[in-house]
Structure 1
Amino acid sequence: MTTPLKFGAFLVPLHDINEKPTLSLWRDMRLIELLDELDYDEAWVGEHHSGGWANILAPELVIAAVAERTRRIRLATGVISLPYHNPFMVASRAVQLDHLTRGRFILGVGAGSIPSDPHMLGIEQTETRPRTAEALEVIQHLLGSDETITRKTDWFTLQDARLQVAPYSPGGIEIAISSALSPNSMRTAGRMGLGVMSFGSPRPGIPLPDLGRQWRYAEEAAAEAGRTVDRADWRITQTVYVAETREEAYADVRAGFDRWVHGYWEDIFHLPVGIEGVPRGQELEANIEMGNIIVGSVDDAVAGIERLQENTDGFGGMLLMAHDWAPWDKMRRSYELFARYVAPRFTGALVRPRLSADWVTANGHLFEAGYQAAIQQAMGQAAAT
């Protein structure tokens, strides 16, 4: 068997701007509770400040709330946009959550993905990646060292800085950086020894990125820095929806998919979403064919994950994008079907039951003979009395 995969969900989140934000927020927390009950490994919560759809502003607060409602699922920021925050405060909040969750916290970080966010903060987009690298160096030191650090940049100053509380876990807090299309984040991960969360579901109409090449960027940077990177620490996000049949799955998400494509990507961000030669109404099937999303039956979902494994040469975890493409009861059913019938094919949970079933089947004649002998013996003893 190949290395078992971890599974989780990635809550950007994206909610229709016609829905009351309070209710969508509480539903997000209910979803994380459900994921915990269904034995998912992780839940990642995003940070965004404009655009209306991605309406979680402070993922740390959501994580603190759901930490009290869950038992074992790991909780991650997905991601904290480092250029918007003083790195000392990011590290402080990370340690606080690490203790509140008893070691279940993952610090997911990135440069930020919505251009209107840094605009409001007066940050040039060309500054976001350099700021991310500067902040990461400080955060790694603060989380991992007892020594003070002094650092002055054009956007933050630290003087004799040291966290007064160490992380809860002896091994420290896991840090993972998000990666989209450029090699920058993968190289940062390799150079600094970080985990990676890659976006495997690009915006509609865009071909799936060469994720295998992306991973090689991390390996090359790690080698140059005298480090190694582990595919077990590589997570890939993917939009997945599962129903009993492929036809049912397509019918369930078609309207929500269309609303996401045209209401979010096209209307809000004015980005091209069409595929040449594909009329509106058939874009769902086209994006499935491109490998951008996985929609269908249990077998379709299994096949989609296997293709992704083959195309990447392997990764450590998959995060299901938590889209509102169907009503809550159907989305709940999709997560349940995935947890019960898809994930176990990749975690090793089915190995022992199948071995046992095969063994009993192969040796059934032996057990049947003994069973019949026992019955005959019992009947004989009953007749003798």
Structure 2
Amino acid sequence: MALPKRMKFGSFLGPFHRVGENPTLAIDRDLELVEWMDTLGYDEVWVGEHHSAGWEIISSPEVFIAAAAMRTKYIKLGTGVVSLPYHHPLMVANRMVQIDHMSHGRALFGVGPGALPGDAYMMGIPHETQRERMDESLTTIMRLFTETEPISVKTDWFELNEGMLQLRPLQQPYMPIAVASVQSPAGVTLAGKHGAAVLTITVPRDPSAGPSDLQGLWAIAEESAAEHGKEVNRDDWRLVLPVHVAESKKEALDDIRMGSARYLKEYSEGTNGRKSVFDGPLDKVVDNMSESGSWFVGTPDDIIDGINRLQEQSGGFGGFLVQTVDWTSREKMLKSYELFARYVMPQFQGTVASTFASNQWATERQETLVAGRVRAIDRAKKVYADRKA
């Protein structure tokens, strides 16, 4: 298993905000976090689309990204993800191309079938059709991105008559594309079909289902790519996991002890009906989820160890995204992202190898170097004394 020379790091921003707080201020904090990540040197952020259940309150990642693009300089901004069955493909393609231009080429295009069952239900979309519709939509969008002649497509849920884009993508031939994949093979199969990247939420929305079969999912992606004459690259595979970092393990656990329990019990289980993953007291939820590896909670060294374990479990990946959960104070959230950037990211991006090597070089030659410095000082003193004599 070979690590990438420079792993990509970022956030998978659902976001998750507890019901009952001011949603305007919650979205403001999300934008503030993206600005902070831009300052800290994170590579990317992926913003979700959800329409029900009250916790994940961004309904249009494109609108959020447009605002974030005006506040940032370097970080890439992705949809994480556009739920393709909810939209006409021409509209999705047009919005993504516009974002690509407005962000000056920083757009990333993440797609999926739609995660929350309530969303599809409200729109009258049969749940069993969502993955097939995702495939039909992305195939059409790829044609719109790459073909210059008008195209016509007719399915049982959308019709495109001589469709073409009036703006071409700024990034050529188009912005990077990633397909969400958690448990079913549909996402990785579609990624392989188009040679796209993969976004994998390492612990599915239903934690009781256990962790994703990472190596199995990647094998399906490679098989699908081979069938369609495409290639998939492990360096473009992003894994997603909730993370909180602090100066000590105890501090990290205590920071999110009740907030994380409310997220799991009130939202994942209480709202969405997932089976209980832990039947103990609320104040022990975070300990259980951390010990099982479902969440990475601890010091920078703990997080480094966790990412290395994921590399072993998956066979290798090229990007790690923090699944952002609003489970502690604003100050502690921002501090967690800072500690991650200062001490975790450099270990996987090659930026501290040379400083370690330089330090080791100097340490090993300490006696010789110090002796030379002493001789130089002694000589300077002697020269001065001789001049005064």
| Range into which the TM-score falls when normalised by the shorter chain | over 0.9
**Unpaired segments of 5 or more residues in structure 1?**
none
Paired with 2:126 and 2:181, the residues of 1 have a C-alpha distance of: 19
Paired with 1:131 and 1:170, the residues of 2 have a C-alpha distance of: 26
Q: Any idea what SS the aligned residue of 2:71 has?
A: coil
8 Å Cα contact 1:11-1:321 kept in structure 2: yes
How does 1:127-206 map onto structure 2 within 5 Å? Answer: 127-202=129-204, 203-206=206-209
Given candidates 263, 267, 289, the residue that maps to 1:264 is 267
Alpha-carbon deviation of 1:281? 3.3
1:275 matches 2:272: no
Paired with 1:198 and 1:288, the residues of 2 have a C-alpha distance of: 19
The equivalent of 1:55 in structure 2 is 57
Q: Which amino acid aligns with 2:165?
A: L
Larger deviation: 219-228 or 345-354? Answer: 219-228
| Cα offsets for 1:92-121 (capped at 9, x unmatched) | 011100011111000111000101111111
How does 1:77-92 map onto structure 2 within 5 Å? Answer: 77-92=79-94
Alpha-carbon deviation of 1:280? 4.3
Q: Any idea what SS the aligned residue of 1:167 has?
A: coil
Larger deviation: 203-212 or 344-353? Answer: 203-212
How does 1:39-50 map onto structure 2 within 5 Å? Answer: 39-50=41-52
Given candidates 233, 236, 241, the residue that maps to 2:239 is 236
1:74 matches 2:50: no
Q: Alignment RMSD, CA only?
A: 1.3
Q: Which amino acid aligns with 2:274?
A: L
Percentage of pairs with the same residue: 43
The equivalent of 2:357 in structure 1 is 355
Aligned residues: 384
TM-score (norm 1): 0.97
Paired with 1:145 and 1:288, the residues of 2 have a C-alpha distance of: 48
1:294 matches 2:296: yes
| Cα offsets for 1:168-202 (capped at 9, x unmatched) | 12342111110110111111111111111001133
Paired with 1:2 and 1:21, the residues of 2 have a C-alpha distance of: 40
Paired with 2:287 and 2:53, the residues of 1 have a C-alpha distance of: 27
| Cα offsets for 1:46-67 (capped at 9, x unmatched) | 0000001010011101100110
- The change in CA–CA distance for 1:126 and 1:251 in structure 2 (over 3 A counts) is same
Paired with 2:208 and 2:118, the residues of 1 have a C-alpha distance of: 22
How does 1:324-343 map onto structure 2 within 5 Å? Answer: 324-343=326-345
8 Å Cα contact 2:145-2:173 kept in structure 1: no
8 Å Cα contact 2:3-2:317 kept in structure 1: no
The equivalent of 2:116 in structure 1 is 114
Q: Which amino acid aligns with 1:269?
A: N
Q: Which amino acid aligns with 2:229?
A: G
The equivalent of 1:221 in structure 2 is 224
8 Å Cα contact 1:208-1:290 kept in structure 2: no
Paired with 1:205 and 1:340, the residues of 2 have a C-alpha distance of: 33
Larger deviation: 371-380 or 30-39? Answer: 371-380
TM-score (norm 2): 0.96
The equivalent of 1:14 in structure 2 is 16
8 Å Cα contact 1:249-1:297 kept in structure 2: yes
1:254 matches 2:229: no
The equivalent of 2:3 in structure 1 is 2
8 Å Cα contact 1:204-1:261 kept in structure 2: no
| Cα offsets for 1:293-350 (capped at 9, x unmatched) | 1101111111111111110011010110110111110111111100001111111111
**Unpaired segments of 5 or more residues in structure 2?**
none
The equivalent of 1:30 in structure 2 is 32
Paired with 2:300 and 2:115, the residues of 1 have a C-alpha distance of: 32
8 Å Cα contact 2:203-2:210 kept in structure 1: no
Paired with 1:44 and 1:103, the residues of 2 have a C-alpha distance of: 15
Q: Any idea what SS the aligned residue of 1:49 has?
A: coil
After the TM superposition, which parts of structure 1 deviate over 3 Å for at least 4 consecutive aligned residues? 203-206, 278-281
The equivalent of 2:319 in structure 1 is 317
| Cα offsets for 1:64-95 (capped at 9, x unmatched) | 01101001000000100000100001000111
Paired with 1:152 and 1:204, the residues of 2 have a C-alpha distance of: 38
How does 1:369-380 map onto structure 2 within 5 Å? Answer: 369-380=371-382
Q: Any idea what SS the aligned residue of 1:68 has?
A: helix
| Cα offsets for 1:265-294 (capped at 9, x unmatched) | 222122222336x45432322222221111
8 Å Cα contact 2:99-2:107 kept in structure 1: yes
